[in-house]
Structures are given as C-alpha cells and as structure tokens.
Homo-oligomer: A and B are copies of this chain.
Amino acid sequence: MIVLGSEKVVKIGIVGFGIVGSGVYEVLRTNSDGIAAKTGGIDIKYILDIRDFSDHAESHLFVSDFDTIVNDREVSIIVETMGGLTPAYEYTKKALLSGKSVVTSNKELVATYGDELLQIAADNKCSYLFEASVGGGIPVIRPLNQCLAANKIEAITGILNGSTNYILTQIIKHGQPFEEALKGAQQNGYAESDPTADVEGHDACRKICILTSLVTGKKIDCDKVYTQGITNITLRDVEYAEKLGSVIKLIGMSRVEDNGKITVMVAPMMLSLNNPLSHVESVNNAVMVSGNAIGDAMFYGPGAGKLPTASAVVADVIDIVCGGAGRIMWSKADGEIITPQSEVEFRFFVRVDSGVDKSEITRVFGANEYITVCEDEYGFVTCKMTENMLKQKLSTFVSAGYIRVLD
C-alpha cells in the first residue's frame, strides 16, 4: 500500500467533458477508495462543458462558465481536457495566475505555450502537469523526470502516435494498402475523420518536441522540426523491410549532439527486429530513453484511449495533492539549437530500377547486399549520409524511393 501524505479532500474542476474528461470522471469515481487512501480524497466540484448534460447522473456538477470554477477558492486543481488552443490557453493562464494547478492532456497547448505556462505556474507557486499529453496512458514524463534523474539523457526514440502505428501494423501484418488501413482505423475510432495531424506526423512531432524540451530545458519549436508522415509507405516498402528482418515504424527521435545542438525529427524508418520498438504494435506507443547510466530503457503501453489517458491525468492530480510533483521548466532558446536537417546523416534503404548496374551501386553507395521482392526493381542499404548527399548520388539512377534506417 502506498501512503503518500495529505489527508484533506481536494476539490477539482474538470474543464471539457469529451472522451478524456469523461474518462477522468470515471477513473476518479471507480477508483475513489484507492485514490482516497493515497491522497485523503479528490472530489469533483465542477465539470465545465457547454453541451447539455442534464441527463447525467451528476448533472448538478455541470457549469457552463469557466469563471465559476476559477473564482471558487475551494477548487485547487483544474483538469483541462478540452484540447485545442482556444479557449484552453486563456483558461489555463487564468487558472495558473490565480494559483490553481492545472493538469492537461492537451499536447498542442503544451507544445505551443508550454514555456510560458510553466513559468506562470512557477511564479504563482502552483503546477502545470501534462503526463497525458505524451504517450496517452504510458508513464513517460515522470519516469524521465524522476526515475532517470541520475542520468544525462542522450537520446529519445519513440513510437508516439497510436493511429499511425495501427495503420502501419495493418499494412505489415494484414497486407492492407495505406488507404484501406486508414479507413479501418477511422472505422475503429483509432483515427480522426480528418487524419492529417496523425498521418502527416504532426501529432508525433508535438510529442517529441515536448519530450525534448523537457530533457534539454529549451523550447523546441514544432515548426522547425523536420516532419514526414506515413502516407507514402507502400506494401512494397513493407515487403522489403520484412526481407531485411525489419519493420517500418513512424519514429519521433531526438538526440543531444556533442556540439550541443539537438537533432530532432519525425519520419518513417526501418527498424531491425532486434530493436524493442519494432515489436510495438497496433495503437500501442513506446518511448525508448537512452541515458548515460541506465543505457536504454523503454516505456510501453496504450498510446491513447479514454481510460488510459485518464489514468495519466489522474496520476498528475494525485502527484500535486501529494506534493510529489517536481517542477518542470523550459524556456526559449537563444539562437538556433536544432541541427539543420541538411546535416543529419542516416543509412537509407533505397529502391532502384532492376536495370541499374549493381557494381555502380556498390561503387557509389558502398552497398554490398541487394534485396529483391519483384522483377522490376531491387533495393539496398547505403552507408551513412545526409539526405541531400543521397539525392545527389541517386540523381543518375532510376529510383522508386528511399526510407531512413534507424540504427
């Protein structure tokens, strides 16, 4: 049993009663005994949602005006589960300025205004926590923050988006083309009707930016991060990967370089089956953290979903109540801190027309193994080079595309 401290019932407000907000309600109600044993009790005083919930079993909790919550001195923690920037940004600021801690699952807000909101929280001696904004239910931020506190974190590599991992799993395991796999994901509620943020990598980008900001203390601007989605991945790419003893995953990665710059990017990559991330399937997410003492540690679990995400939100609330929330802080960097993508080197898996002379490929790319899955082309893995270098070297050959190899 865990006895964490405080004995007073803490009153909270839930702002936004969508999937995550209603999940927070459900977790707090279902597990109230266990949570009370750890905290002394967490009581929902208000739920803010402009929709009509008069049929709800606890309809008396619902209010439609944020000021009712923020002006109530009994409320000490606000759970923001609205998503989006407006009005979540304004509400969060108002809450923190009034000294109320805020817990959120809103990755867009954290990635965009995290630096400012964390500073406001610090100035007002309250907390701004967002475990649920990265990796859904998987504990990532707290492990990074506390469990690996003895380490210099050198790299983070993750499968950070459940929709795209589900789609890729369908392509890999069931041979579905991208469009069909996407449709299935939408039908199963694993992808939005507008899937752009997921399939183009923007969602994964926000998450790797948040994690990198956390580790480096510097705000990483999503707009400046090279981001490539999975819309161009074909069944043939997947076949090649399989022949190489690999799989294709959408990877968000960042690495602190010796020159102090940070290499950060999102792109589909080929991973060897020896890499534990290669076995992360369906809507699961995982984050591999490399530290100078621990080596590689991986955190794995459901990357999204009502109750898993709510589990992470409520853990943050409990942490605030028990006084265990360490202070997180990052700030705008002076000057450019991201390694220009033009300098980032990878090995690449390249597909070329079957007419291309193999000895030429060996001469130009240092490749010595060729992979064939069909008659009209073959594939090979290059030595390490930048993408520009690859494009230049490839310009004299007929190529059907390439993909990065994660080492």
Q: How many copies of this chain does one complex carry?
A: 2
How far is it, in angstroms, between the C-alpha of A276 and the C-alpha of B300 when the chains are bound?
A: 9
- A328 nearest CB neighbor, chain B only: B2
Binds B, one of A131-139, A177-185, A354-362: A131-139
- Check: A295 CB closer than 8 A to any chain B CB: yes
Contact with B along A305-341 (1 / 0, CB 8 A): 1011011111101110011111111100000000000
CB <8 Å contact, A294 and B301: yes
User: In the complex the two chains form, is B308's CB within 8 Å of A293's CB?
Assistant: yes
With known contacts A295-B302, A301-B297, A148–B276 Cβ distance under 8 A:
no
**In terms of DSSP, what is the predominant structure of the interface of chain A?**
mixed
Interfacial chain B residues near A5, Cβ < 8 Å: 326-327
Measured between beta carbons, the chain B residues less than 8 angstroms from A328 are: 2-3
The answer to whether A327 and B3 have CB atoms under 8 Å apart is yes
Task: For A296, list chain B residues within 8 Å (CB).
Answer: 301-302
Q: Which residue of B lies closest to A291 (CB)?
A: B311
CB contact between A217 and one of B1, B138, B292 (< 8 Å): that residue: B1
Given A311-B291, A311-B294, A324-B326, A149–B35 Cβ distance below 8 Å?
Answer: yes
A151 touches B326 (CB 8 A): no
From residue A385, how far is it (CB to closest CB) to chain B in Å?
31
Q: Using an 8 Å CB-CB cutoff, how does the interface string of A134-158 with B read, 1 for contact, 0 for none? A: 0001110011011111111000000
**A147, A308, A318, A328, most chain B CB atoms within 10 A:** A147
A291 to B281, CA, bound (A): 19
Is the CB–CB distance between A149 and B315 below 8 Å? yes
- A202 at interface, CB cutoff 8 A: no
Q: Which of A26-34, A49-57, A81-89 touches B?
A: A26-34
Minimal beta-carbon separation of A361 from chain B (angstroms): 32
| Chain B residues with CB below 8 A from A266, complex form | none
A107 vs chain B, min Cβ distance (A): 18
A148 to B307, CA, bound (A): 12
A325 partner residues in chain B, CB cutoff 8 A? 324
Give the residues from 1 to 56 in chain A that come closer than 8 angstroms, CB to CB, to chain B: 1-5, 23, 27-28, 30-31, 34-35, 38
Query: Are B31 and A151 in contact (CB-based, < 8 A)?
Result: yes
Name the residue on B nearest A137 (C-beta): B294
A5 to chain B, nearest CB (A): 7
Chain B hits for A400, CB < 8 A: none
Which B residue's beta carbon lies closest to that of A153?
B34
- How far apart sit A312 and B293, CA to CA, in the bound complex (Å)? 9
Q: How far is the CA of A298 from the CA of B140 in the complex (A)?
A: 11
A198 to B276, CA, bound (A): 24
Chain A to chain B contacts (Cβ below 8 Å), 11 pairs:
A2-B329, A137-B293, A137-B294, A139-B143, A147-B312, A148-B311, A149-B319, A150-B314, A276-B280, A295-B305, A324-B324
| Chain A residues proximal to chain B, CB less than 8 Å | 1-5, 23, 27-28, 30-31, 34-35, 38, 131, 137-139, 142-143, 145-152, 214, 216-217, 274, 276, 279-281, 291-302, 305, 307-308, 310-315, 317-319, 322-330
